Structure 1
Amino acid sequence: MSKSAAVKTPAPKAAGPGRPKDLGKRASILEAAQRLFLEQGYQGVSMDEIAATAGVSKLTVYSHFGDKETLFAAAITAKCQEVLPDELLVRPPEGPLREQLRAIGHAFFALITSEEAIAMHRMMNVPGAAENALRELFWDAGPRRVQEVFARFLQARVAQGQLEIDDLALASSQFFCLLKGELHPMMACGLCREPGPAEVARHIDATADFFLRAYGA
């Protein structure tokens, strides 16, 4: 999952003066954007259509997000936060390190194997369906953000003496690549069904154990 060149996700446009933004409208816009981007692709969706689907004016959409690129990045980030919140990555449930890695693993695997994530993955890999700049937006809002936040979790465990890691970014990337394993690409290619709970648990347990054998103090 590592990517050699760092590309910054465009920061959302600053809100102008006036009343605080309506969080309910913002949520409706994000929900509409997620669905339409998946159904029609980035190029096939207009801000007018997103506004109509969300039940708001186009001015309201622009007021919250500024432009379509910012909205796309925000939609990806919102989906990641919904299934794999930063709080879980930085402060997972109390317990042994292995159980913490398992909890993060289950959340991440649920995220990448969801129908929305598989559809987005396929859209990003269809020639001509997305420009490189759009793929970079997707990468920064999703995989890169997750890896960077998880690296902070690893850094804290190194400081506590539970792990020995020289390259935190590499170790973070390796953990999520291990979690994808063979199952995720096969699902993305339509070559296998969604795995059952027992199969997922076995895969995540093996991933956590492998990672700890590599980096355990």
Structure 2
Amino acid sequence: MTTAEISIPQGRKVQQVLDGARAVFVAHGYERASMDEIARTASVSKATVYSYFADKRELFTAMYRAEMLRLADSAVELNDTHLSPEHALHEAGRRMLDYLTSDFALAMYRICVAETPRFPEIGRAFYEGGPELGRACFGAYLRAATERGVLRVDDIDLAADQFFQLCQTTICDRMICGVQYTFTEAEIEHVLAGAVATFMARYGV
């Protein structure tokens, strides 16, 4: 079963469990996180947790996908035709960097790297809920912008991946290697401006 096929239960109790799982996975990583600790953090019984999720891997996958869907839902509506491509790209890049520089994103990346060799489904969850979902959402904007004639993109998936990589320049490498964990507004804007200018030089009309 892929991440995209997992049905995330709904309801207040489920959200408590997902919020508890998020806090525990960020604080302790995947291996040291326990269903007991997740239940305590969520203020529910362990039986409640298991009534929704069969095991820790299923809970992790659902938690991560729910977080990514929430992030996608909170993003600005890029298909607003009143936005210039430069404005829309800057907003998309900003939203992505706000996420990538969060404690949650760094914790999920470390879990993916550490656990995927033993649990390949965790890597799939990370990929499908992160890069693949982001490519689909941003790709929809690129396709619509190309149809409106404000961008000229022939390979939608490649262009989406290229923009995401441009926005990660310098910042993500420094975070992953532990060189720097916080960034000033000027540092973020410098990276975003370069990403948008480079992308527009290649795909602008």
Alignment equivalent of 1:11, drawn from 5, 15, 20: 5
Partner amino acid for 2:132?
R
Structure 1 partner of 2:191: 203
Query: Could you say what secondary structure the match of 2:160 adopts?
Result: helix
Structure 1, 129-138 or 203-212: larger mean CA deviation: 129-138
Q: How does 1:73-112 map to 2 (within 5 A)?
A: 73-85=61-73, 87-88=75-76, 90-91=78-79, 94-112=82-100
What is the correspondence of 1:68-217 to structure 2 with a 5 Å cutoff? 68-85=56-73, 87-88=75-76, 90-91=78-79, 94-126=82-114, 131-217=119-205
In the alignment, the residues of structure 1 paired with residue 66 and residue 36 of structure 2 have an alpha-carbon distance, to the nearest angstrom, of 21
TM-score, normalisation: structure 2: 0.86
Is the partner of 2:5 in helix, strand or coil? coil
The separation in 2 between residues aligned to 1:171 and 1:68, in whole angstroms, is 35
What is the RMSD of the two structures over their aligned residues, measured on CA atoms?
Answer: 2.6
Aligned residues: 205
Q: C-alpha deviations, 1:143-175, integer Å up to 9, x for none? A: 211111111111111111111111111111111
Q: Which runs of 5+ in 1 are unaligned?
A: 1-6, 16-20
Partner of 1:4: none
- Contact 1:164/1:216 (<8 A) preserved: yes
Partner SS state of residue 126, structure 1: helix
TM-score between the two structures when normalised by the length of structure 1: 0.82
Cα gap change, 1:168 to 1:71, in 2 (>3 Å)? same
| Separation in 2, partners of 1:194, 1:147 | 26
Distance in structure 2 (CA, Å) of the matches to 1:93 and 1:69: 41
Q: State the 1:195 CA deviation.
A: 1.6
